[in-house]
Structure 1
Amino acid sequence: MIRAEVFTLRVPLRDARAGAVQTVLLRLTAADGTVGLGESAAAPSIDGIEADTIAGELRDHLLSPLDSEKAFPPLLRALSPPARCALDTALHDLRARRRGVRVADLLGGPRRASVPVNALVPRVPIAEAIAWARDAWRRGIRTFKIKSSDRDADAALLGALRGAFGLGALLRIDANGSWTVEEAIARIRALAPLDLEYVEEPVKPGDLTGMARVARETGVRLAADEDARDAEAVRLIAASGAARIIVVKLAVAGGIAGAMEILQASEAAGLGVVITSRMDTSIGIAAALHLAASAKSLAGACGLATRDHLADDVTANPPRVEDGKMTLPEGPGLGVRLDPEALDRLQEGGEA
């Protein structure tokens, strides 16, 4: 028998002005006491799905204990990608712990012991943002990403980063699909003197024709994020010439299994990959880290250092960043341990 517990967590951000993020934690407990952990951080501003919706979906499908892992495949197919992400991750963790191996070993084995990471620079006054970036620089991080705001603010922050760190820094901007095609072309051309590493999801998801036009007319590498939801989507991106990099998120892919299919499709199409987390706790970050450690190749630093934005965490041993790289945890499964006191402290919605 396998019993499931679902928790909705409210995790405060380091910048108290930004409030908190909500994430959903799933704990599977087998009859022998082995535990598997999974997570799906909510991103309603991107996909419109709230944490309560993810948690409710998991509770509805996991209300009763299940006889064995054989009961899970139909459940996985019935879930939305964010809910499927939590369940799929917990199953990978459970299977690996039962075998006494790491999740990365289930994925063909780790190809690297640590993964280079980028810093997501917060949208705060520029002096604060640069101080944040300098702290990341001291820890060896050399790639900086910003979320797009208005045109002048984007140029000012990227210019300040370039001025602070020179050509030794790699700069990225993520528009989250908020620009029109014409606006994307104009903005990217205006930012050309700053020598961006790439621009992520510049136009509305689904407009691959428009994105391909942006790529042609600017000559800057583009990365697909929201559009890269499964292997077939990756093949369409490659065929259209819309992007040269695929950003892989477990919550979008529906978990580790779906993300592996995206990695394989990207490799077959000759596209680079970067693995990124949402605003997960160290459970979701560890899952993405195992995926990144197992990938055949990476197109650049991965967006896994998002825990820097959280003021609290639900694990006792979060993955560490040293010399600009995040180290794969020791121990079986995901390698992270749930902190019971932190779970009580951060819990909002109780358990199923």
Structure 2
Amino acid sequence: MTTIERLETRTQRVRLTRPWGPSHAAPGKWVAEPVEASGPSTGSATQYPGAVDSVTVIATRVTRSDGAQGFGFSWTPQIGASAVQALLDDDIAPAAIGRSATPGEAWDDIWAHLHEAGGGGITTIALAGLDLALWDAEARAASASVSQIIGRRRESARAYGSGVNLHYSQDELVAQVRRWVDAGFDAVKIKVGKPDVAEDLDRLAAVRDVLGPDRALMIDANQRWTLDRATDAVNALAVHDLAWIEEPLRADDLAGHAELARRIEVPIAVGENLHTRHRFEDFLHAGAAQIVQPNIIRVGGITPFLRIAAAAADLGAAVHPHLLPELSGQLALTLPGDPWTEDVEDAGFATLGALADPSPVTIADGRLTENAHAGLGIRFTAFERDDS
């Protein structure tokens, strides 16, 4: 049996070109900058309250007993990077060494080992760093991509334009949507949740005018509303023919989402802040969501993501992976149905210069395709700097 021999981590801050929130700083290309494990995380924005000007990646490298290596990562935009790295170094690595290196075989036992610190959240985010590296090593050893060893169902997947744009002026928002239309996207998602729903209505009217009647429009409230506010807002905004409303309420409010689903006709999408297959199944069985959007890192990696996708398919829900198109786009090629990949403007790791190799995927004319590569093709420069 091939076993896990070593697990290493490196923390890397990735500067965003477009801050996620209002900022006084001019956007610009980031410079690779490691974060010392012993010091405080610098992944959170400091320029302006609510702004995010960088995200933090915990890059991982696993070495197997047969000498094969694989690269993965854990990811947290603002909070908890040092805690994630500590879990990987202090708890996951010792528990993993000597276990099977076959992807998925050790996942349940290590997840159970971490339960004292929580069944999901920071524990599953950390566990993704090991899981992705094991899948990468398995595919690299076979001189194949991860999508090939899972089983590709299609050669391309639909992508939609997305952005963190609630703080944009209406003119800036419209300009962004025009860029997406010009780039060939036939679906876009924008943020909603202004203090006055009339402003959201005006912004959606302007966006729909650019999109025309045939392109899909999704909205994301990022957990901003109460149940009654969400009811009123979604029913008002539905005039603009919405494909879904994303995270209208606090992500852990199962009863609230179930009640909201009874009050509105727009499909509800949740999942970027759910962490286990059990929680996804809770929402689907309760009729609280019609669309699920698991974030592959937050659920613990590819192994649990595939289980969640299979459970959702069995229950008749659509699966559209959340964020991280270089990763989620590859898995979208393996899923049943018609999964969409989210492409946040100017936020891809390859676009930001964070990867040691070219991007494993290309998004053009609203479709994602996979470029030739082995494994996941996602190797961060943190290890390249360390090995040079």
Instruction: Identify whether the pair has TM-score above 0.5, normalized to the shorter chain.
Output: yes
Once the two structures are superposed, the pairs formed by residues 186-197 of structure 1 within 5 Å of their partners are: 186-197=232-243
Pick the aligned partner of 1:66 from 94, 97, 105: 97
Q: TM-score, normalised by structure 2?
A: 0.77
Q: Note the alpha carbon deviations across 1:73-104, whole angstroms, 9 max, x for none.
A: 44354341101112111110111111222211
CA pair 301-63 structure 1, distance change in 2 beyond 3 A: closer
Pick the aligned partner of 1:133 from 177, 199, 203: 177
Over the matched positions of the two proteins, sequence identity in percent amounts to 27
C-alpha displacement of 1:208: 2.4
CA pair 158-307 structure 1, distance change in 2 beyond 3 A: closer
Q: When you count helix as a share of all residues, which structure comes out higher?
A: 1
Question: Retained in 2: the 8 A contact 1:226–1:252?
Answer: yes
C-alpha displacement of 1:114: 1.7
CA pair 337-87 structure 1, distance change in 2 beyond 3 A: closer
- Whether 1:36 and 2:36 are equivalent positions in the alignment is no
- Whether 1:55 and 2:55 are equivalent positions in the alignment is no
SS of 1:191's partner is: helix
2:137 aligned residue: 94
Pick the aligned partner of 1:12 from 10, 15, 30: 15
**Paired letter, 1:39:** F
CA distance in 2, matches of 1:315, 1:149: 38
- Whether 1:75 and 2:110 are equivalent positions in the alignment is yes
Question: Retained in 2: the 8 A contact 1:143–1:301?
Answer: no
* Matched length: 332
- Which runs of 5 or more structure 1 residues have no equivalent in the other structure? 345-349
**Paired letter, 1:11:** V
**Paired letter, 1:137:** V
Pick the aligned partner of 1:122 from 164, 172, 179: 164
CA distance in 2, matches of 1:103, 1:159: 41
- Whether 1:296 and 2:369 are equivalent positions in the alignment is no
C-alpha displacement of 1:244: 0.9
SS of 1:276's partner is: coil
- Whether 1:143 and 2:183 are equivalent positions in the alignment is no
Pick the aligned partner of 2:149 from 106, 125, 148: 106
CA distance in 1, matches of 2:244, 2:327: 25
Q: Note the alpha carbon deviations across 1:188-243, whole angstroms, 9 max, x for none.
A: 01102111110012112232222122122211111122564333223322221111
SS of 1:308's partner is: coil
CA distance in 2, matches of 1:244, 1:338: 35
Higher relative contact order (CA 8 A, sep 6+): 1
- Which runs of 5 or more structure 2 residues have no equivalent in the other structure? 24-51, 115-122
Pick the aligned partner of 2:127 from 72, 76, 84: 84
Q: TM-score, normalised by structure 1?
A: 0.85
Q: Note the alpha carbon deviations across 1:93-145, whole angstroms, 9 max, x for none.
A: 111111222211332x1111122111113322232232222222222112111
Pick the aligned partner of 2:346 from 296, 308, 320: 308
2:365 aligned residue: 323
SS of 1:168's partner is: coil
CA distance in 2, matches of 1:191, 1:56: 44
Root mean square deviation, CA, Å: 2.6
